Amino acid sequence: MEVLQNDRLIRAAKGLPVDRIPVWVMRQAGRILPEYREVRAKAGSFIGLATHPEWAAEVTIQPVDRFDVDAAIIFSDILVVPEAMGLPYVMEEQKGPLFPQVIRSQADVDALKTAVPEEDLAYVIDAIKIVKRDLSGKIPLIGFAGAPFTIFCYMVEGKGSKTFSQAKKMLYAEPALAHALLQKITDSTIAYLKAQVAVGANLIQVFDSWAGILSPSQYSTFSTPYLKQICDALTDVPVTLFAKGAFFAREEMAQLNCATIGLDWNMDIQESRRLVGSNKTLQGNLDPCALYGDYKTVETETKKMIDQFGTQRYIANLGHGVYPDIHPDKVKCFVDTVHNYSV
């Protein structure tokens, strides 16, 4: 078992006492930092950066040095999984990911492979090894993947969407095909996350970014069973589930073998604690836009959040990823406020 100098995040996830609230920030290794933009320019593209282990490791550690957060999260992208399965994507500037080919039939699903992480995603595995070496046990490293339903959305729709109507169409018109694709994604995701843990990821977060487009019954059918498989398979490290917009699924997610449930800023904190119960840790959930306020506003809003969550079984974070035009000093203010207020 690795001995960490700062293990607050792991202790909080496991429900053990902490001396102060651990805090990290979704998308902390990214676009808000000028030092990130320098490495990104050197890489030539987002994918070029994500697939270059030394550069990916460098930008993973940058926010640790800048913000004094209680965890690093490996710099990567959720869409490396479909690419490893044989469905490549491109990242269009100002537009986001685009899949030149999409899944429309059983033949398309059959043509996909189950990813072999050590081969197909070796660049992520190598980046984790470098980060672990450079962190030298200072803080934990979070590994991650997209939830099967969210990955499904991109593989069927082919790009980001407000409605993901093509993806949802398959749920209604061809549910058996949808389940076949979801299972194949799940198998690859479990292998990928296990490989991350094998080389040193101390915690895992699963991002269900498009959970909120589903109805409660659809979520129970097309997301929860696959999240359950992931949680049941990852027994060595704490798992966090973050399902953006799935306010209706909090009680259901609490029944899964995860340690932590992430909340977005629309989810009431005290109601969430009632629904989830006392045996799970909660993570979140400051509105990222609060960081556009002045420093006093950031402090005030952060303290209000902590007053509702309490100091135990809690990991402080935003309710979604930090936006690229937020000043890094506001993120530092958020992190410092959590640390200073919770002592």
Instruction: Round to whole Å and give the CA distance between 160 and 151.
Output: 11
Clarify whether 250 is annotated catalytic: no
> Using CB atoms within 10 A of its CB, is residue 14 exposed (0-12), middle (13-18) or buried (19+)?
middle
Strands 281-286 and 260-262: parallel
Q: Write out the DSSP string of 248-294.
A: GGHHHHTTSS-SEEE--TTS-HHHHHHHH-TTSEEEEEE-GGGGGS-
Q: Which residues of 248-283 are buried (b: 16+ CB within 10 A; e: fewer)?
A: bbbebbbebebbbbbbbbebebeebbebbeeebbbb
Q: Classify residue 93 as exposed, middle or buried by CB count within 10 Å of its CB (0-12, 13-18, 19+).
A: exposed
Q: Could you say which of 7, 77, 120, 208 is catalytic?
A: 77
Contact 59, 15 (CB under 8 A): no
19 a catalytic residue: no
Reference 182, options 212, 225, 119; nearest CA is: 225
Q: What is residue 228's three-state secondary structure?
A: helix
Q: What is the largest CA-CA distance in the chain?
A: 57
> Known catalytic residue: 40?
yes
Q: How far is CA 174 from the centre of its chain?
A: 29
Q: Quick one: tokens of 83?
A: 């690419």
Which of 8, 11, 36, 40 is catalytic? The answer is 40
Active-site choice (20, 31, 37, 104): 31
Amino acid at residue number 80? V
Strands (E), the chain: 72-73, 90-92, 96-98, 141-146, 203-208, 239-243, 260-262, 281-286, 314-318
Which residue in 36, 89, 154, 219 is the catalytic one? 154
Q: For residues 195 and 128, what is the distance between their CA atoms, to the nearest angstrom?
A: 10
Which residue in the list 7, 8, 11, 27 is annotated as catalytic?
Answer: 27
Q: How many CB atoms lie within 10 A of CB 45?
A: 13
Tokens matching residue 99: 């899949």
Q: Which residues are catalytic?
A: 27, 31, 40, 77, 154
